Structure formats: structure tokens, C-alpha cells
């Protein structure tokens, strides 16, 4: 058998396997996605899903925990060009910048209220909770309340949570979990964080 025929046979088998899996996945509902791990690409992936949802003219809400002191490219883009997208930011910066636990907790609770409003509103097709995991890791928000709000959201609503860690209970509550592992990072080779790529 020549290379092209072997290729055709292998691809026929692969197509049958793919088609079979697609036929088996027949439950239609919103999905809960967790993007975790220490590698680059979690927040950008969530914003890529925002674009994906907007391509279908869906309604999108974004709540950003931590972020908000320094404007990022995606934030500027949403504010300037996506007026239909609801965006709320905690706006206090990283916890190692504020160094004030009580103020951080108050800000986290205030921000979480915006998240629960979206998570109980069936008008939102997609809700992004960027860096939410850190609020759990630092014990700023009660884990049980967060899990309940995520799992009891409207059936057709999808939710994307990003951030390192987050704990086992969160992983179990989500339908899809991707762990973004850092294999290498430009940073470690002395290359400065790049406008338009890193922030």
C-alpha cells in the first residue's frame, strides 16, 4: 500500500471514531469550564471564548477578580469596542500589591455579588469569572457558596473560571477542566512581558 492510501485508511478510521464520539455526546446544556495551571494562556483563552460567543451574538458577562489596576489589552478592547458586554473588575490588583487582607476580602465579596447576579440571570449565555480561583485559595470567599452558585446557574448558561489552583471541589463541579502547564516562559529568558501578548 502506498503512503497516500495508508493515509486514507488511517483517516477513515479516525473519522469513524470522531463521528462515533460526537453521536454519543447528545446532552444539550451550558458547560462549566475551568482553565487552571501555572502556564500562560488562561485569561486569554477565556477572552477567546467571549469572542466566540459574541460571534453568535450571545450575551456575555465578565467579572475579573484581582485584575484592574493596570489596564490590559483585552480590557481596553472590551470597554472601547464591546459595549454590549457587562464587565466588572475588582480593581484592587494582586494581593501581593495590596498586602491588606481585610480590604481584599471586602473587595472580593463586593465583586462576588456581581458574579452571583450574572450566575442567576438566564439572559447571560456566557459568564467569565477571571482569576476567581485565587479568592478560594486565599479563603476570601466561602467555597461552598461559590460551588453552589456555579452549579445552580441557569441550564443554558456556560461559565468559564480561570486561575491557578482552586481546589478539588471546584474541579469536581466543572464539566471541562484544562490545566495549562508552563513548559517554558519568555520571562525566564529575560524577555520583558509583551504588550498585546502578555497583557
| Chain residues 84-103 in contact with a second copy, contact rule CB under 8 A | 94-102
Is 69 a binder of a second copy (CB under 8 A)? no
Q: Sign of torsion, CA 65 70 75 81?
A: positive
What is the distance between the alpha carbons of residues 89 and 76, in angstroms, rounded to a whole number?
12
Q: Which stretch binds a second copy (CB under 8 A): 34-42, 62-70, 83-91, 145-153?
A: 34-42
Q: Which of 1, 62, 67, 75 binds a second copy (CB under 8 A)?
A: 75
**How does 124-136 read in b/e, with b if 16+ C-beta sit within 10 Å?**
bbbbbbbbbbbbb
Show contacts with a second copy in window 35-54 (CB under 8 A): 35-37, 39-54
Is 164 a binder of a second copy (CB under 8 A)? no
Q: Which of 69, 106, 169, 193 binds a second copy (CB under 8 A)?
A: 193
Torsion of CA 93, 98, 103, 108, to 10 degrees: 30
Is 122 a binder of a second copy (CB under 8 A)? no
Q: In the numeric block, which cell numbers belong to residue 20? A: 462515533
Is 180 a binder of a second copy (CB under 8 A)? yes
- Taking the least distance from each CB to a second copy, the nearer of 113 and 175 is 175
Contacts of residue 106, Cβ cutoff 8 Å, sequence gap at least 6 = none
Amino acid at each position: 500500500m502506498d503512503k497516500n492510501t495508508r493515509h486514507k485508511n488511517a483517516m477513515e478510521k479516525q473519522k469513524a471514531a470522531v463521528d462515533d464520539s460526537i453521536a454519543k455526546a447528545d446532552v444539550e446544556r451550558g458547560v462549566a469550564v475551568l482553565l487552571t495551571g501555572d502556564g500562560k494562556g488562561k485569561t486569554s483563552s477565556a477572552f477567546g471564548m467571549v469572542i466566540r460567543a459574541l460571534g453568535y451574538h450571545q450575551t456575555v458577562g465578565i467579572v475579573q477578580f484581582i485584575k484592574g489596576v493596570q489596564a490590559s489589552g483585552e480590557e481596553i478592547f472590551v470597554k472601547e469596542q464591546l459595549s454590549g458586554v457587562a464587565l466588572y473588575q475588582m480593581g484592587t490588583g494582586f494581593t501581593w500589591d495590596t498586602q491588606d487582607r481585610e480590604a481584599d476580602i471586602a473587595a472580593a465579596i463586593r465583586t462576588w455579588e456581581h458574579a452571583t447576579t450574572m450566575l442567576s440571570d438566564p439572559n447571560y449565555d456566557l459568564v467569565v469569572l477571571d482569576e476567581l480561583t485565587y479568592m478560594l485559595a486565599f479563603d476570601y470567599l466561602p467555597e461552598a457558596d461559590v460551588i453552589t452558585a456555579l452549579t445552580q446557574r441557569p441550564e443554558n448558561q456556560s461559565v468559564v473560571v480561570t486561575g491557578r489552583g482552586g481546589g478539588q471541589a471546584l474541579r469536581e463541579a466543572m464539566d471541562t477542566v484544562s490545566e495549562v502547564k508552563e513548559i517554558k516562559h519568555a520571562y525566564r529568558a529575560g524577555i520583558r512581558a509583551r504588550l498585546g501578548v502578555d497583557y
